[in-house]
């Protein structure tokens, strides 16, 4: 405006963002079953996809997980996403532990001691989230749509504060999603929800 190269009034159109709707529950469970059983899918994509479909984690957070976030307590395997750590169902635990033992990008001279759950090709760096998201989409797991389905299903089954603490979500986010999904926990009593219910497990495909 100062250089008189445009008019005094300038209208900037709003950016349009198109997002795919969340997967249906049947689609989510179908994708989960395929990742657990299809050995043709690369292991890292199977594990990353299961974390999205079960625990509603964004890819940007998944690539920042380390092997130290996978906790073994006797025969129980836990995944630290929030507080408390989330229990991992047996079929998923076996897949997760196999992945840790055979992670990609660990044989280069610059990356032999990487602690990332999903090591990248660059020394000391995790897998790139944009690349992981694209690869998941190629195997039929659109990350945003899958995460939306997972978090909504969790909120239909558990109180928002419990889900927020365990999966690392903000309370305002889970409260908004509860309203959108018509969840039954909208009047859940506030208080200390640091501990998840005894025996809580994310839904498995065999439970449907």
Q: Is 105 left (phi over 0), alpha (psi -120 to 50) or beta?
A: left
Among residues 36, 70, 77, 72, which one has the least CA distance to residue 53? 36
What integer pLDDT is reported at residue 106 of this predicted model? Answer: 66
57: nearest Cα among 118, 131, 146: 146
CB 174 within 8 A of CB 160: yes
List pLDDT tens digits, range 93-152: 999 999 999 887 666 655 667 899 999 888 788 999 999 999 999 999 999 999 999 998
What is the number of other CB atoms lying within 10 angstroms of the CB of residue 196?
Answer: 20
Determine the distance from the C-alpha atom of residue 56 to the mean position of all C-alpha atoms in its chain, rounded to a whole number: 4
User: CATH assignment of 25-146, given 1.10.443.10, 1.20.1250.20, 1.10.3720.10, 3.40.50.300?
Assistant: 1.10.443.10
Return the higher-pLDDT residue of 12 and 82.
Answer: 82
Residue ranges of domains in the chain: 25-146
pTM of the model: 0.74
Task: Say which residue, 177 or 196, is predicted with more confidence.
Answer: 177
Tell me the C-alpha distance between 74 and 68, whole Å: 16
Confidence of residue 208 (pLDDT cuts 50, 70, 90): very low
């Amino acid at each position: 405006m100062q250089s008189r190269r445009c008019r005094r009034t300038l209208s900037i159109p709003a950016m349009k963002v198109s997002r795919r709707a969340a997967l249906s529950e049947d689609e989510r469970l179908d994708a989960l079953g395929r990742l657990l059983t299809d050995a043709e899918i690369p292991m890292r994509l199977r594990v990353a996809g299961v974390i999205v479909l079960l625990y509603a984690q964004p890819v940007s957070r998944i690539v920042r997980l380390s092997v130290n976030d996978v906790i073994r307590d006797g025969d129980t395997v836990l995944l630290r996403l929030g507080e408390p750590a989330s229990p991992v169902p047996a079929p998923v635990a076996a897949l997760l532990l196999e992945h840790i033992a055979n992670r990609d990008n660990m044989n280069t001279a610059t990356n032999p001691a990487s602690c990332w759950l999903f090591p990248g090709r660059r020394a000391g760096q995790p897998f790139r989230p944009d690349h992981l998201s694209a690869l998941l989409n190629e195997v039929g797991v659109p990350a945003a749509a899958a995460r939306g389905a997972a978090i909504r299903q969790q909120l239909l089954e558990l109180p928002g504060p419990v889900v927020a603490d365990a999966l690392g979500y903000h309370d305002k986010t889970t409260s908004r999603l509860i309203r959108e999904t018509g969840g039954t926990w909208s009047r859940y009593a506030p208080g200390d929800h640091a501990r998840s219910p005894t025996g809580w497990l994310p839904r498995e495909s065999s439970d449907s």
